[in-house]
């Protein structure tokens, strides 16, 4: 009896170790949540900084565009002034040449008539006076020509400076354009990342569902899964699947930052065979089916500004063969996450 009593007294108590393990696990979870919150905060700050830089780049491009327009206007005015001054210079030079020719002709006539000095002395004096006046006018014209040439040189210097500023502005605009393209490319990469996450989530939600496939960057529902033949009203079997899709879209709206312009495009497609019933063309049927899907998603809480309905009729087939299997593949509703 004494030996049995001592054995019961030495029994191991596992409860404190179990409590320590739970405490350690709780601390690890709290640490991971803290790291996740810090990462979300840093990501938000980075996206805000990119938006500010993008707005500043757009403002600089607009300002440089206005300056470039003003410089080009000034250059055109300078070119017009230079052309007018050149025309005036040519007219003044022609007048100078005419006066020189007249003066030389007068002097030649006066020399030829030297034998008649007694009769023509008065006329010669008048001709000399006229020649002196002509020479003074020619001198005045030469001064005006020199002044005009200086003005033309100044205008050409101003024009060259304007062209240099124009080239500098073009270089700045090209640099800002490249930086803007880089910023836009980063936005596209962010949207692609969210697209991958969204389609991964849809694959989990709609896993192994017959009639649902992924083709490239699109999620494809066969029409038979959503609609009866020739109809644009959603079947009762389609609504649970669309409810899952609506839940995923609502969560996506919360995940993607509001400054990224994205839409979920719903594309309707039919096969090539003529439509029967209330619709006059496959185009109308495909558009009506896409609109029906969009309206149902809106009724489930998806923001309407994030949805887009499009009808392609039979003009975007997946399989061009004329078989029942090809027709079935071509009758479909496609979802594509894209930019607005």
Q: With respect to residue 121, please indicate whether it lies within any of the assigned structural domains.
A: yes
Confidence at residue 269, expressed as pLDDT on a 0 to 100 scale: 96
What mean pLDDT is reported for the chain?
A: 79
Range 112-135 average pLDDT: 66
Q: Are residues 175 and 215 in the same domain?
A: no
Q: Give the C-alpha separation, 262 to 249, whole Å.
A: 12
Name the nearest CA neighbour of 75 among 174, 182, 159.
159
**pLDDT above 90 for 197:** no
How many structural domains comprise the chain?
2
Q: For residue 198, what are its two tokens?
A: 């969204």
Confidence at residue 306, expressed as pLDDT on a 0 to 100 scale: 92
Token pair 């995940």 in the structure block, residue: 255
Q: Which residue has the higher pLDDT, 132 or 314?
A: 314
**pLDDT above 70 for 116:** no
**pLDDT above 60 for 117:** no
DSSP secondary structure string for all residues of 148-177:
HHHHHHHHHHHHHHHHHHHHHHHHHHHHHH
List the CATH number of the domain containing 165.
Answer: 1.10.287.1490
Confidence at residue 2, expressed as pLDDT on a 0 to 100 scale: 47
Q: Are residues 330 and 211 in the same domain?
A: yes
Give per-residue pLDDT as tens, 163-193: 778 777 777 777 666 666 655 555 556 556 6
Range 16-31 average pLDDT: 85
Q: For residue 208, what are its two tokens?
A: 């192994």
Give per-residue pLDDT as tens, 219-275: 888 999 899 888 999 998 889 889 988 998 898 888 888 877 889 999 999 999 998
Exposure string of 283-318, with b = 16+ CB inside 10 Å and e = fewer, is: bbbbbbbbbbbbebbeeeebeeebbbbbbbbbeebe
Count of H helices and E strands in the chain? 7, 5
Range 54-75 average pLDDT: 77
| DSSP 8-class letter at 216 | T
Q: How far apart are the first and last CA of the chain?
A: 86
Band of residue 58 on the pLDDT scale cut at 50, 70, 90: confident
**pLDDT above 70 for 110:** no
Strand order in the sheet with 218-222: 212-215, 218-222, 332-339, 262-269, 307-311
**pLDDT above 90 for 76:** no
Which of 123, 155, 186 marks a domain boundary? 186
Q: Are residues 123 and 166 in the same domain?
A: yes
Name the nearest CA neighbour of 252 among 183, 333, 193.
193
Q: Are residues 180 and 243 in the same domain?
A: no
Other residues' Cβ atoms within 10 Å of the Cβ of residue 245: 23
List the CATH number of the domain containing 325.
Answer: 3.30.1330.60
Q: Give the C-alpha separation, 299 to 314, whole Å.
A: 28
**Structural domain for 253, as ranges:** 206-339
């Amino acid at each position: 009896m004494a030996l049995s009593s001592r054995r019961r007294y030495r029994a191991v108590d596992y409860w404190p170790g179990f409590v320590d393990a739970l405490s350690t696990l709780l601390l690890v979870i709290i640490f991971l949540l803290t790291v996740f919150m810090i990462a979300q905060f840093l990501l938000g700050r980075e996206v805000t900084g990119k938006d500010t830089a993008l707005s500043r780049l757009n403002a600089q491009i607009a300002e440089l565009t206005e300056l470039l327009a003003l410089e080009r206007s000034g250059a055109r005015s300078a070119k017009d002034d230079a052309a007018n001054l050149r025309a005036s210079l040519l007219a003044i030079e022609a007048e100078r040449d005419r006066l020189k020719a007249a003066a030389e002709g007068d002097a030649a006539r006066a020399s030829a008539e030297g034998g008649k000095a007694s009769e023509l002395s008065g006329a010669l004096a008048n001709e000399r006076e006229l020649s002196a006046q002509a020479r003074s006018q020619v001198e005045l014209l030469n001064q005006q020509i020199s002044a005009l040439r200086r003005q033309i040189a100044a205008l050409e210097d101003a024009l060259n400076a304007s062209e240099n500023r124009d080239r500098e502005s073009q270089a700045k605009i090209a640099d800002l354009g490249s930086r803007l393209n880089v910023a836009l490319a980063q936005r596209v990469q962010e949207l692609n990342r969210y697209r991958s996450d969204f389609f991964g989530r849809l694959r989990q939600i709609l896993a192994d569902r017959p009639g649902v496939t992924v083709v490239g960057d699109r999620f494809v529902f066969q029409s038979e899964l959503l609609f009866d033949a020739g109809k644009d009203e959603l079947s009762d079997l389609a609504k649970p699947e669309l409810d899952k899709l609506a839940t995923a879209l609502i969560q996506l709206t919360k995940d993607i930052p509001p400054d990224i312009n994205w839409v979920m495009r719903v594309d309707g497609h039919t096969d090539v065979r003529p439509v029967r019933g209330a619709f006059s063309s496959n185009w109308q049927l495909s558009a009506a089916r896409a609109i029906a899907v969009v309206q149902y998603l809106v009724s489930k809480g998806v923001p309407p500004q994030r949805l887009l309905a499009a009808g392609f009729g039979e003009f975007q087939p997946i399989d061009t063969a004329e078989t029942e299997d090809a027709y079935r593949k071509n009758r479909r509703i496609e979802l594509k996450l894209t930019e607005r």
